[in-house]
């Protein structure tokens, strides 16, 4: 996770820290964390290069992070001028959101889990010949899944659907959350979308830009770009998506400092345990033990 992105959510009284939630088994702890100390997975981008240790971290910083952090698009966002974003920012924004997804640990785990499904015969009816060749290559090549992950993390080419992407920048008075895996999917074809029927046939992601701004990235419909105010309820829905992502282990940290966090943890099945020096601790509620007796038995 780029530090320049996390600085958008720095604490009001300390520009070097963010308010985070971290999960330890069935316990969720809120605390302030240094920006330099989160947003990375140890050795995630490391690999063995003919017996010598190597990493793509420097390449990611030099070829992707630094150019985008110096781009006109990010200068608007970091300066608090999201309202001035326009159609010229559509493709840079899409590329950055896609990169944040491709470089994340969840993507590596997805590649690995899909390959496990392939080996188990669960993907037989879904694969193209090219995809079968890819899985055969992963099977035959040690470290191939991680090599494929590294290639995606370094990919700067936009996919063929880029010209048809619709970016809807949104702002509201409520506070948005984000996470260390901030590009979160909110709809896909074949599933009922939390945002209503109009999204059911679309692939849609959300990326928070700062505590009051974020954007939908929509594929499958007409291309476009817009900047719109949205009601606070949109933030509530997006924020629960981030919480669900975090609680299912698809992000190491949740960055959250909004008024509904306690209510949403209760909604997710976590009960308040104690206040701490700089935050709080919640614990997952254990369902009542079943007796095994049929209904109405004494």
pLDDT at residue 191, as a whole number: 73
> Helix, strand, or coil here: 150?
helix
pLDDT at position 257 is: 92
| 103 Cβ contact partners less than 8 Å away, ≥ 6 residues apart | 45, 60, 152, 153
Check residue 61 and report its DSSP letter.
I
Nearest CA-CA partner of 93 in 208, 247, 237: 208
Higher pLDDT, 139 or 40: 139
Q: Which residue has the tokens 């949740």?
A: 254
State yes or no: pLDDT of 166 exceeds 80. Answer: yes
- More confidently predicted of 126 and 196: 126
Judged against a pLDDT cut of 80, whether residue 192 lies above it is answered with no
Measured in whole angstroms, how far is the alpha carbon of residue 234 from the centre of its chain?
Answer: 17
In percent, how much of the chain has pLDDT > 90? Answer: 71
Helical ranges in the chain per DSSP H: 3-6, 57-60, 66-69, 72-78, 90-102, 105-119, 129-140, 144-153, 232-247, 261-267
Q: Is the dihedral of CA 86, 256, 242, 55 positive or negative?
A: positive
Query: Each residue of 16-32: pLDDT tens digit?
Result: 999 999 999 999 999 99
Percent of all residues in the chain with a pLDDT value above 70, rounded to a whole number:
95
**Strand 280-284, strand 270-275: pairing:** antiparallel
């Amino acid at each position: 996770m780029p530090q320049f992105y996390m600085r958008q959510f720095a604490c009001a009284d300390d520009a070097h820290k963010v308010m985070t939630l971290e999960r330890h088994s069935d316990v969720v702890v809120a605390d302030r964390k240094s920006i330099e100390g989160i947003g990375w997975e140890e050795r995630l981008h490391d690999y063995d290069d003919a017996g010598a240790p190597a990493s793509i971290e420097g390449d990611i910083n030099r070829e992707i992070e630094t150019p985008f952090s110096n781009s006109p698009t990010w200068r608007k966002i970091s300066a608090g001028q999201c309202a001035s974003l326009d159609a010229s920012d559509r493709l840079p924004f899409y590329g950055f959101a896609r990169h944040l997804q491709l470089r994340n640990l969840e993507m590596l785990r997805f590649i690995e889990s899909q390959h496990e499904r392939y080996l188990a015969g669960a993907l037989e009816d879904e694969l193209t010949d090219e995809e079968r060749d890819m899985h055969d290559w992963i099977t035959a090549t040690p470290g191939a899944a991680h090599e494929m992950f590294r290639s995606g993390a370094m990919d700067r080419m936009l996919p063929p659907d880029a010209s048809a992407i619709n970016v809807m920048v949104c702002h509201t008075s409520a506070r948005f959350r984000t996470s260390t895996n901030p590009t979160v999917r909110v709809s896909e074809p074949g599933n009922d979308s939390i945002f209503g029927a109009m999204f059911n046939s679309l692939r849609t992601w959300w990326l928070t830009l700062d505590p009051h701004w974020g954007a939908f990235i929509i594929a499958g419909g007409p291309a476009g770009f817009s900047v719109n105010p949205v009601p606070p309820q949109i933030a509530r829905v997006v924020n629960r998506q981030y919480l669900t992502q975090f609680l299912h282990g698809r992000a190491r940290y949740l960055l959250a400092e909004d008024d509904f966090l306690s209510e949403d943890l209760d909604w997710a099945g976590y009960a308040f345990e104690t206040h701490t020096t700089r935050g709080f601790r919640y614990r997952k509620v254990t369902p009542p033990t079943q007796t095994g007796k049929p209904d109405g038995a004494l």
